Every structure is written in structure tokens, then in C-alpha cells.
Structure 1
């Protein structure tokens, strides 16, 4: 589904075809929404997700990072964050104290639409997430899940970071200070976010289902 996966094994790479990840209709609809960068001193829509079960690291790092931003930026932020139930109270307390416009939930059934309306995404880098970010074309800060034997999420994030469509930060470097610095920089450089969105979109494959169907037909000799 992602390019470069088999680069280290030429024998397998020679037998493989990259078709992309087939996208559900909601993602295809979201991909039709043009990216709109934040205006200078205008709202900055931030989406924070962490996979199907959420990611505790996002609850641990993102709120204190937001607190370290210049107070003038707090009023610009519109945050949508996936938060586990057990972390909900402490995350909400921070945003309420800072008077941040934040919507928190353990799960968002309309995530494709929220991806489409976001201007910066902070997320884990599962294969599906990376494929959807690329298909929709949204700039992101990706924090790969550490500890995996084959470091698959690190490699996934690398596909977008190498295309300049995402910033990959290892979890050991994902600190409130680092995240605050990156958000602050992005907030003052809307053109950079636009360029990242376009770069991410260049990696996306909206016709993956058709490519896969064509490949199956070809292999079957139909």
C-alpha cells in the first residue's frame, strides 16, 4: 500500500506492485475538500488523534505543550482531540483553564470530515492513518508507536516526511517543549502548511481500489 516498503529486499520488490490503500467513500469525499491554511492571526484548527484506542502520550504531551504556547495563540486554537475516558478529566481541565476551544471524545465517527476540516494533524502513524492523510492531503506531525519489532509506524511516517508532507518525531523527542515550538512555527508560516498539504497529497492514491481490481484481473488472466 505504501511505496518503498520492500526496498530492502529487491527479490520481493521485483514481484510487488504498489497500488495504495483502497479508500472508503467518506475518505474520498473528504479528499475533495480543498485545504485551507490558517490566516495570520486567524483560527488554527488542530486535530489530535492516536489510533482506534487513542494514545495516552497525546494526553500526556499535547495539553502541556499548548500551555507553553504564547497566550496570544490560545485564542486562535480550535482543538479536536481523541482522549481516552480515563484521561478525559485532566485533559479537559487544562484546556478549560486556558479557555481553549476544544472538543474532546474517545472516538469520532466522522473522522474523515474532521480530517478534511483540520489545518494541522498530530497523530500516530499507522498505515491506514498515513494513507488517509496522504489521500486527503493534510499536513501532520507524526509520532510513531515505539517498540515495534519492525518499526512499521516509523517507516510509515517516513513516507510522508520524505515527501515533506509531515514532520516525524520519535516518541522520545516528543516533549511539550518540542511540540510547542513546532506548533508556534507552523502558526506563523501558513505557506509552509500549504506546501506540506500539497506534498502529502502527492503521495496519496485515490484510485487504489481500481488499481487493485485491475491487478487482480490481470493476475487472474480475465
Structure 2
């Protein structure tokens, strides 16, 4: 390896962990810093073309259950990963290792501590994830996305620095578009997306809710909805029957631009979704994914709702009839939508990637990043 300063990022498992690491890698490279990525054996399964000098794969495992067999299996995989990461770090000699959560982060950060390399974890959600819980006590510093992070309190709080959750450049570009308040008789653009785990519920419930709206309201709607491949045709047919103009697809490459064009967004509450909603500044009805680990989506949605930037409704409480009622009330009061758009944008941190890069380089220079202690909450 050359003698240039380098940073090792550790991420994998889900896009929510990988994409903030991607944004940081782009920013560090713009500053002339070499970036390497350590991930699990699945590698870059999202095909993002991660902007790293090299991508290293090490064994990892998520704890499926607490049965003796699963615990032993996970322990063996993590131990193997730590050994592999220990060897890689000897070769690369990074100035710091930054982890983005999930069990693929565990081996690189433990190995870094064994080699006395400064480490930090970045928590994207409003609640500390399981892997991060195991790592924060020994991490040099902690970067947070929310000003309140559940389980991050007591002696850990002094390590915390509020950086925000980095978003991709396409989101920053979309954020330049102001919110277009819907007129009393004008077109209303509604965007619905839920990720691979959440799209089925929206495919089942949202067309029914919009069908229940009054005729005059339905005629104003222009719907864009993400649906799983096997659901696309039936969702399209449901909107056709309801007389609603709709664009249905499994994936939208220009999603940030479509978010910016929307008057109202209905979505899950993953960390990246909430970060993008707030940077762009759009009102949303958030329906957290039920049974998510640590209720991270519920906590994310509640934080945005507290800011006034959206509305959090748990799936168990959201029938098509209630959703129709909520949408009709909002469309009848466009000022409420406009106020929520402003509140969402106020809560956003478009400079999160710059702040996280500053945090990273301060750590790499041998300093603990200046702490901004979050106001913590126990729920």
C-alpha cells in the first residue's frame, strides 16, 4: 500500500448501512483521501459501484436466534472475520476505521481496536442498533443521525457527535426544488414506496384507500407507486378501475427527483428514507415496518413527526378507510402540507456528509472529534 492517508469503512448487510458509507467515500475521495471498504462475503450486492480503492470481504454472521447452535455458529463466523480483518488492517494501515452498523461491521472494528487504530461507529437510526450496542463502549467516538438516540446515554453520551445521515448527490440536487403547494382544484402528486419488505402492504392498502376518496379528489391525483414485480399488474389495474392516473414500477432510478415533485409521500421509515425526506423537505405519512429489530423505523418516524415534518401511523392502526380519511383531510388543507414541508426541511441536514467527513479526518489525525452531546430519550 502507498504511504497516502487512508480510511477503512466497514459496512454491509443492508442498503441503510451501505449507502451512507457510499456518500462518505465520495466525499473523502473528493478531499484526496484513499478509501477502502470492508464488508461481508456478499460484497456489494446492491451493485452500487462503491467508490473504494479496494473492497475486502471478511466472514460475518447475524445472530438468527439465541439457541446454542445459532450462537455458536455466529461466534465462529465473527471470530473468523476478526482474524481476517486483523490481517487486512496490517496490510492497509488505515488511519481510522469507521463502521456503519450491522454485524458485518463487528469484525473490522474489533480487529481495529486490537491494532490500536482509532474507530468510530455511525448510527443511522434514532435507536442504537444491536451490533453498534456491542461496539460503542470500545469505539473512540460515535456519530449520530438524530439529536436523540435511544440507548445512547450515560457514559457513552460524551463520545457522541451529531453529524446527520449522509445522502447521495442526487438527493442534494433534488433539494433545490421548492415545495409546490397544491391548488384547490389542481393536480395532486402522491408518491408511495416501501422497499422490498414494505411494498406489499402498500400494494394491498393504498389503492383501496385512494379508491375510497370522492370522485372529484380522485380525478386530481397523479400517483407514482413502487410495487414488487409480482404486484405491479394488479396495482396498475386497481388504479385504472378507480380512474386514477398512476405510474407503477418495481424501481425508480430517479426517485429523489420524484420525491421533490410530490405533494405528499407515503413510505416506510428507514433511516435513509427519513434523511432524504428531510433534506428535500417533503410532507409524509410514515408507516414503520412492523416487527423491525429494535423498532428502529418506529423511532425514526416518531422523531420526524415530533418535528412537525410528517405523520407517523403504525401499520396495525392503518386501515384503507383511515388512510383515505387522512389523505382527504390533508388535501383539504394544503397549508398543513406546506407547513409540514417546511418543518421537514428544517429538520434535514444537507451538510451531513461534510460533517461526517470532518469527524472522520479529525479522528484519523489522532483527536477525538469535538462532542455535541445529544439530548437522550428513554422510550
Name the TM tier (shorter chain): over 0.9
Partner of 2:165: 21
**Structure number with bigger Rg:** 2
TM-score of the pair, normalised by structure 1? 0.96
Name the SS for the 1:122 alignment partner. strand
1:19-98 alignment runs, 5 A limit? 19-52=163-196, 55-98=199-242
Cα distance between partner residues in 1 of 2:155 and 2:213 = 49
1:136-175 alignment runs, 5 A limit? 136-175=280-319
Residue deviations 1:147-185, cap 9 Å, x none? 123000001111110001010000101110110001101
2:256 aligned to which of 112, 125, 145: 112
218 and 6 in structure 1: CA distance in 2 versus 1, 3 angstrom threshold: farther
Partner of 1:219: 363
1:181 aligned to which of 320, 325, 341: 325
Name the SS for the 2:252 alignment partner. coil
Q: 1:89 Cα shift? A: 2.2
Partner of 2:243: 99
Name structure 2 gaps, 5 residues minimum: 1-144, 367-379
90 and 52 in structure 1: CA distance in 2 versus 1, 3 angstrom threshold: closer
Q: Is the 8 A contact 2:167 2:272 kept in 1?
A: no
Q: 1:7 Cα shift? A: 6.0
Name the SS for the 2:358 alignment partner. helix
Name the SS for the 1:55 alignment partner. helix
Name the SS for the 1:125 alignment partner. coil
Cα distance between partner residues in 1 of 2:273 and 2:222 = 21
Cα distance between partner residues in 2 of 1:8 and 1:219 = 20
Q: Is the 8 A contact 2:198 2:289 kept in 1?
A: no
Residue deviations 1:132-155, cap 9 Å, x none? 000000000000000123000001
Partner of 2:268: 124
Partner of 2:349: 205
Cα-Cα RMSD: 1.4
For these two proteins, the number of residue pairs brought into alignment is 222
Q: 1:215 Cα shift? A: 1.2
Name the SS for the 1:78 alignment partner. strand
Name the SS for the 1:151 alignment partner. helix
Q: 1:11 Cα shift? A: 2.4
Name the SS for the 2:293 alignment partner. coil
Q: Is the 8 A contact 2:198 2:268 kept in 1?
A: no
Higher relative contact order (CA 8 A, sep 6+): 1
Cα distance between partner residues in 2 of 1:181 and 1:11 = 46
Residue deviations 1:75-123, cap 9 Å, x none? 1000000011211222112111122110000000000000000010000
Cα distance between partner residues in 2 of 1:212 and 1:52 = 28
